[in-house]
Structure 1
Amino acid sequence: MINFNFTICVLLMALGASAQQNPENQFKNTSWVQQGYGRCLKIEDSTYTYYNTNNMNCKALAEGKMSGRFTIVSLDKNELILNPGGIVNYIFKRVDSLPPMCTHPDSAAASYEENFKVFWETFNDNYAFFRERNINWKQVYEDYLPRVKKISSEKELADILREIVKKIGDGHIRLEVPDELKTKVAVAAPVIRRKKDDIVKAIQERYLVDKHTYNNGVINWGKLKSTKIGYLMIKDMNNFSAYVSPADKYQPDFAKKYDQVKDSRLPLMQFEDEINGVDQIMKKILADIGQSDSIVIDLRFNGGGLETVALRLLSYFVGESKHVLSVEARTDQGNTAKQKYILQPANSAYKGKVCILLSGQTASAAEIFALAAQHYPNIRTMGTRTAGIFSEILWKELPNGWEFSLSNEIYTDSNGKTYEGTGVPVINELNYSRNRLDFYNSFYSGDGFTDKAMDQIRQVD
């Protein structure tokens, strides 16, 4: 999904594009407040400053000269809409001036209590899923404020905030504190820790023929042994760009080479490269296994990435355009207007039946794939409901400099139903454990390996 750094780059792109398209520079000396994200933008003669705001302070996230690297969705006197290359448009409302704290920041150190209040108020204004997570946020304030008033160290504050994060139970909430403030976890008794890559390798060796891989294993494909069923495992919704030659795909320094090329590309180009990479590899995959009557898409080990990549991949397995999801963002005044996403099928889409394998480790952008896929009758699902964390990660900062993130975007299906917290359900339930270690271990019995999903699919064929 669209990340924090990319959002900053979007603004840089948008401002530059507008400067080129509008000779009179209608951006000059304007101020804008972003709807639903707690951020604002100041544009002067030829430079911009982008701020992260809360109820106590206002901090510049990025600033510099305008550079033409983006397309504006719309612009008028009072509203600016930017699209960051994803499926969500970002809406800015014009204001006469930024909050005074943006131009005259208070340099005084904030107390533990003030930091706690900023944390609580930021969630109160922007977090979208208290009801889905069964959290009484006002009660959290009443329960923890008396404790905060008694603390005397940063370590105590960090422990309290971590306790609150754990109570919410959202995988997209993170709290970044200095290493010296982190609580050491006692080492448990030795257990066998299965690795994801070992399971992926075992599936390929036990069940597949005509095996292929791309970009260091981000996507793998082949056919199930003794069947006419195609198999496609997608491990990530990132890193599809064709930056490294196929000859180097197994080299130990693949990631280093990939990142070197990626870092040399402008941010918008990086996202275009991802989509081009999907198109390129999907043509090869369908050429290899496209004649099969059915195909398995394995997302059980996919923790997410870019929603644009996920939906582009799905477009190769659907036969018609459909409204598959909507997105809105939480604000202190309610929610922003819903933005509908219509999935368009690829020009050369797969024609057979599709079975998607899901687990509790299927998260974020991989869940968006599953959410959109359930609108198509040729697609069935097997495994266990997904993780239930769809939103983009919105990064914020406390007055003391600690960074934290939250979920502020609400993804719903075409009927307006959200699966946040519960996850996308499956048709054929296999009761996988929600615990990652237990899930990985479930593939093994002693020294033996078996995949009950793959066994069921082969028996049906």
Structure 2
Amino acid sequence: MKNLKPALFIFILLISFAAQAQQKQEKLLKNTNWIQEGYGRGLKIVDSTFTYYNLDRLNCKSLAEGKLNGRFKIISLSKNELVLNPGGIVNYVFKKVPALPGNCGSTPPSTASYEDNFKIFWETFNDNYAFFKERNVDWQQVYKEYLPKAKQAHSPKELSEILTALVKQLGDGHIRLEIPDSLQTKTPATSTGVKRKTNDVIQGIKNKYLENVHVYNHGVISWGKIKGSNTGYIIINDMNNFANYLSPEEQALPTFLKKYEEIKDLKPAMEQFDDEIKGVDTIMKKVFADLAKTDSMAIDLRFNGGGLETVALRLLSYFVGESKPVITVTAKTAQGNTKKQTYVQQSSKANYKGKVFLLTGPNTASAAEIFALSARSYPNITSIGTRTNGIFSEILWKELPIGWEFSLSNEIYMDRSGKTYEGTGVPVHIELNYPRNRFDFYHTFYNGDQFSDAAIDRISKTK
């Protein structure tokens, strides 16, 4: 070692320490079992392979499996606690247990009654759903009202009607019940008027208000300048599909999403998330190059239903000049809430220096709302439109013994003062009172054959 240069010696030491840490980690993880706090899930690790289970009173069914480092990033590990990150901004905390339930990995019991299925559904929400108060629902009363109906159910159709009624009572856009098509009741259309579509409105904005329009990944993000002004305009329609997998020619084709998904599905989950962030960074360089000389910017999230919160907050980093805590998150458990986690919004080195206008509306949901919630901490951002949808949590998926999947909201997102906007949505600085119904909202852009956008018109006046 005497003849080695200091830098090389340090490098070898670092490799040695990393190898020792890796060996220690593998020893602590090998042949272990863990229960996740606040999500009703279990984790079994054999060597470097994991199996992730959904747990309830009757079942323990595999949700995912594979190489641990391909699905999770290890944040910390001790003898009795494991903290993993699944690719989002919320870390998952697991406590070590001697064993998972004995039925883990076995076939769910086919003898579960309709009453059992109802109880599993109700119990899962009782333990993990975080917003009964915000949704004005007395869940204990729901049990008393619907249990007799579940006891009398004699068919999957009757069970589906009971559970569908419960979902409607909660009115949460993150609650989904995946029942077979044959059991779904088709609601006849009641409107005979023209129904405007999302693409109609977006194209109307581009045609009337924008010049030098550019599009990336089949419209996941588009940008240009507002005519007759020095204001840039960026419309972000999704918080997914930012990875730079396809050529510009392929991005414009109707087959874009199919080809994109084919490439993505070949990659481990953690690599998929990294690709999304790299895609954001790549395209934002192009956006800023095209709009570098503007003195203000409009970011339109009015048609964005969500996606990855990491994508949303990476996009926001380009419009803030300071890194600071913006939100806290906790998850609901049967015993209370998990320990709060604080997210620090980062500022990109290439952040925009001008004034920013954020456009939101009733269709701004989930990860797009997390963008809006975090943006409230920055005085250079003025929001225009109306409050967002009011659904922030990651979707927690579960499965009934009958085989139907369902989801719920178990994570509570709060601003820096501890306030949650679940059910109400993030408010705006300049209120335009958009209707909450999607199609009524779209119709506000039309007066007969005339198209106008009150938010963009307001930006011109505000400046």
TM-score (norm: length of structure 1):
0.93
Pick the aligned partner of 1:361 from 360, 363, 372.
363
Return closer, same or farther for 1:103/1:226 CA change in 2, 3 Å cut-off.
Answer: closer
| Preserved CA contact (<8 Å) 2:73 2:87 | no
Residue correspondence of structure 1 range 25-40 to structure 2 within 5 A: 25-40=27-42
C-alpha distance after superposition, 1:12-39 (max 9, x if no partner): xxxxx99954476322221110111000
| Distance in 2 separating the partners of 1:355 and 1:24 | 49
SS for the counterpart of 2:276 is helix
C-alpha distance after superposition, 1:59-102 (max 9, x if no partner): 12234565656531111110000112211101110011112333
Q: What residue is the counterpart of 1:192 in the other structure?
A: 194
| Preserved CA contact (<8 Å) 1:71 1:83 | yes
SS for the counterpart of 1:310 is helix
Using the TM superposition, give the Cα deviation of residue 110 of structure 1 relative to its aligned residue in structure 2, in angstroms.
0.8
Q: What residue is the counterpart of 1:278 in the other structure?
A: 280
Over aligned residues, Cα RMSD in angstroms?
A: 1.9
Return closer, same or farther for 1:189/1:311 CA change in 2, 3 Å cut-off.
Answer: closer
Q: AA paired with 1:417?
A: K
My pick for the range that moved more, 282-291 or 435-444, is 282-291
My pick for the range that moved more, 46-55 or 226-235, is 46-55
| Preserved CA contact (<8 Å) 1:18 1:72 | no
C-alpha distance after superposition, 1:340-389 (max 9, x if no partner): 00111001100111110110000000000000000011111110100000
| Distance in 2 separating the partners of 1:19 and 1:153 | 55
| Preserved CA contact (<8 Å) 1:18 1:25 | no
| Preserved CA contact (<8 Å) 2:110 2:402 | no
| Preserved CA contact (<8 Å) 2:35 2:43 | yes
SS for the counterpart of 2:104 is helix
| Distance in 1 separating the partners of 2:45 and 2:249 | 47
C-alpha distance after superposition, 1:176-205 (max 9, x if no partner): 111111112123242211111111111011
| Distance in 2 separating the partners of 1:64 and 1:266 | 9
| Preserved CA contact (<8 Å) 2:70 2:269 | no
Structure 2 residue 147 is matched with structure 1 residue 170: no
Structure 2 residue 232 is matched with structure 1 residue 230: yes
SS for the counterpart of 2:207 is helix
| Distance in 1 separating the partners of 2:32 and 2:82 | 11
| Distance in 2 separating the partners of 1:287 and 1:37 | 43
Using the TM superposition, give the Cα deviation of residue 459 of structure 1 relative to its aligned residue in structure 2, in angstroms.
3.2
Q: AA paired with 1:394?
A: L
Using the TM superposition, give the Cα deviation of residue 406 of structure 1 relative to its aligned residue in structure 2, in angstroms.
0.1
Q: AA paired with 1:393?
A: I
Return closer, same or farther for 1:248/1:60 CA change in 2, 3 Å cut-off.
Answer: closer
| Distance in 2 separating the partners of 1:106 and 1:235 | 39
| Distance in 2 separating the partners of 1:68 and 1:413 | 32
Residue correspondence of structure 1 range 247-396 to structure 2 within 5 A: 247-396=249-398
Using the TM superposition, give the Cα deviation of residue 247 of structure 1 relative to its aligned residue in structure 2, in angstroms.
2.8
Q: What residue is the counterpart of 1:406 in the other structure?
A: 408
Return closer, same or farther for 1:411/1:68 CA change in 2, 3 Å cut-off.
Answer: closer
Pick the aligned partner of 2:146 from 144, 147, 166.
144
Return closer, same or farther for 1:106/1:387 CA change in 2, 3 Å cut-off.
Answer: closer
| Distance in 1 separating the partners of 2:339 and 2:354 | 37
Structure 2 residue 62 is matched with structure 1 residue 57: no
Using the TM superposition, give the Cα deviation of residue 116 of structure 1 relative to its aligned residue in structure 2, in angstroms.
0.6
TM-score (norm: length of structure 2):
0.92
Return closer, same or farther for 1:101/1:231 CA change in 2, 3 Å cut-off.
Answer: same
C-alpha distance after superposition, 1:203-233 (max 9, x if no partner): 0110011211111111111111111111111
Q: What residue is the counterpart of 2:12 in the other structure?
A: none
Q: What residue is the counterpart of 2:4 in the other structure?
A: none
- Identity among equivalent positions (%) equals 62
Q: What residue is the counterpart of 1:12 in the other structure?
A: none
Question: For structure 1, which runs of at least 5 residues remain unmatched after alignment?
Answer: 1-16
SS for the counterpart of 1:141 is helix
Return closer, same or farther for 1:98/1:431 CA change in 2, 3 Å cut-off.
Answer: same
| Preserved CA contact (<8 Å) 1:127 1:407 | yes
| Preserved CA contact (<8 Å) 1:85 1:268 | yes
